Amino acid sequence: MSNINGLQSPATDPTPIFEAFRWRYGSNLLTAAVAHFGVFEYLAQGPVSKANLQQHLNLESRPFIVLLTALQAMNIV
C-alpha cells in the first residue's frame, strides 16, 4: 500500500470489477449495433459521415455518441 498525501491505496485492486462492469455494457452496445441498428451493414456500403450515420440510425445525439464512442473504444469503427 502506498501512502500519497496521507491517502492509502486499497489492499486489493478493484480494477477487474470495473472492467467487467464496463465491458458488460460494451457487449450490450455491440449487440444493439449489430442486431438492432444494422450499423455494420450500413457501413459496409461505403464511407459515411457521422451525421449521416446518426440520421440513418434515427438516434438522438446522446445515444448516438454513447454507441459510437463504445464502438470506437473497441476499435471496430
Q: What is the value of pTM for the model shown?
A: 0.70
Contact 74, 66 (CB under 8 A): no
- pLDDT mean over 64-73: 92
Let me know: does 30 contact 75? Beta carbons within 8 Å: no
pLDDT score of 3: 57
3-state class (DSSP) for residue 46: coil
Cα(44)–Cα(67) distance, integer angstroms: 18
Q: What is the Cβ-side half-sphere exposure of residue 44, based on CA atoms within 13 angstroms?
A: 5
Q: Which tops the pLDDT comparison, 6 or 74?
A: 74
User: 1-47 pLDDT, tens per residue?
Assistant: 455 667 887 788 877 777 777 777 788 899 999 999 999 999 999 99
